Amino acid sequence: KDGSIRNGYTVGIINKRLQQREFALGVAGPPGIRLEAVGATPRADGRTVISVGPDQTREVRALITHKGPDAVNMAPVTFYATDTASGERTAAADHFHGLEEH
């Protein structure tokens, strides 16, 4: 109703260590995007943190919403997972699909 466009993604986070780890999930892309991870409540500092058990993979449903003043056709986005203890960071690239040009 408000003109926003939302894309859904499945983000897989792999923990190959033998202890539980927490990862802050983030996204970079066109101005005006917002990230929401289904089932994860953002912390007071605004970070979305995902816990992954030892030697496990966790899939997270991530929603990106664009509510910027400019229409987006297709734009690259990059998801980041940062280990909250060590600061190690990994990234995966994808695309945000918006309004199609006619």
Read off the pLDDT of residues 29-88 as tens digits, 9 standing for 90 and up: 988 899 999 999 889 998 999 999 999 999 999 999 988 666 678 899 999 999 999 999
Strand runs (DSSP E) across the chain, as ranges? 5-15, 21-28, 33-37, 48-52, 56-66, 74-83, 89-97
What pLDDT, on the 0 to 100 scale, is given for residue 3?
77
Q: How far apart are CA 47 and CA 13, in angstroms?
A: 16
For residue range 15-28, what is the model confidence (pLDDT) as tens digits? Answer: 999 999 999 999 99
